[in-house]
Amino acid sequence: MSESTSRGPLDYLSELDNISSELENKRGKHIILMIFHDDAFITRDVVDDLEFFLEEHDLSSKEGIDVILHTLGGDADAAYHIGILLQKLAGERTLSFIVPRMAKSAGTLLACSGDKIIMTPISELGPVDPQVYVESTRTWVSAKVVRDSFGQTLEIFRDRVIKDLLREIAGKGYEISEAVNSIVKPFAEAALSGIPITELGHYDSLINHVRKLLVELLSNKMFKQSSIKPEGSVMQQSSDADSVAYTLVSEYSYHGKVIHLDEAKKLGLCIEELSGEERKLAFDLYKTARKFFKFVDELIIPMKALIGSPPITVYPLKHGLVYGPKIEE
């Protein structure tokens, strides 16, 4: 019998709590889990969930806060708001983000709200260029990618569709309106249906907006002059919040770029590397989350074929929040 059939979802969630308790005792800091399935994203609902979680849990007794973060990204404004909430919670205490595997896009923005980001050899951060939500696929994509795709679509329209249109008019004697309906309209509907054109008109302002969010979060903690950087952390003295934010938002040509531990240090972020028992516990958390998500995926695959992807839900734990497709217990 495989592990996925011998254990239920509650077993994995309980194990996440147990490992969190071990890591909490080891580091002497409160643990907050923020773990997202690949189909789950940082949204404004997460702001609500975190606030309600914080109201129900006293996280004032230990010397700092460790957020265990795993996410592909999501809404930059929601990530910013979560960062502000966590900075307020920590106050003068140390706020750290432990990234066992990945905190991409808006996840990187959120991680930058800490005094430091704690990484492993397989940790990934990523560029923080603006994202737009595509309703047809229910996912967040890079606004730059959408803008470039739109540009390519216009090139195809110019090079192919217009030529076909003129050929039909000249060769078959079509009226312009007939040719437009038979050639242009189908192409336009197919090509533009999935592109959030409204957001593209604000691309430059989106860039500036996200950069300002990132600068504010970095300035509040990581680059605050009064901050005392812990022994073993690395931060280039010549870096500042503005230059780091500019690089993360504007300097990468590919949204999926892997920003590994060494590159994150070179950027000027305050980075620590996990080692020893703490790294083992962080990896145990990640592996347990993977097993839980695999269990969920095996349950929902038959449902996807019948009714499509199930809604995303939050699984609240003693030590935080886990997001994934909703399953019936």
pLDDT of 327 reads 86
Which residues 6+ apart lie within 8 Å of 273 measured at CB?
118, 119, 120, 121, 261
CATH number corresponding to 3-133+206-325: 3.90.226.10
Q: Where are the alpha helices (DSSP H) in the chain?
A: 3-6, 9-27, 44-56, 76-90, 106-111, 143-156, 162-172, 176-179, 185-192, 197-200, 203-220, 241-250, 261-267, 276-307
pLDDT of 115 reads 97
pLDDT of 237 reads 37
69: nearest Cα among 44, 35, 39: 35
Q: Which two tokens stand for residue 46?
A: 């997460």
164: nearest Cα among 151, 183, 187: 183
pLDDT of 224 reads 87
**pLDDT digit of tens for each residue in the chain (329 aa)?**
455 457 888 999 999 999 999 999 999 999 999 999 999 999 999 999 999 999 999 999 999 999 999 999 999 999 999 999 999 999 999 999 999 999 999 999 999 999 999 999 999 999 998 766 666 566 666 666 666 655 566 566 555 655 565 565 555 555 555 544 554 555 555 555 555 555 555 666 788 899 999 999 999 999 986 444 555 554 443 358 999 999 999 888 888 899 999 999 999 999 999 999 999 999 999 999 999 999 999 988 877 777 777 899 999 999 999 999 998 75
309: nearest Cα among 291, 296, 292, 294: 296
The one-character DSSP state at 184 is I
pLDDT of 226 reads 40
- Asked if 309 contacts 39 with a C-beta cutoff of 8 angstroms, the reply is yes
Model confidence pTM above 0.85: no
Give the whole-angstrom CA distance, residue 69 versus residue 31. Answer: 11
pLDDT of 253 reads 82
Q: Which two tokens stand for residue 279?
A: 């790294």
Residue 198 identity: T
The one-character DSSP state at 238 is T
pLDDT of 48 reads 99
Ranges of each domain in the chain: 3-133+206-325, 142-195
43: nearest Cα among 20, 5, 72: 72
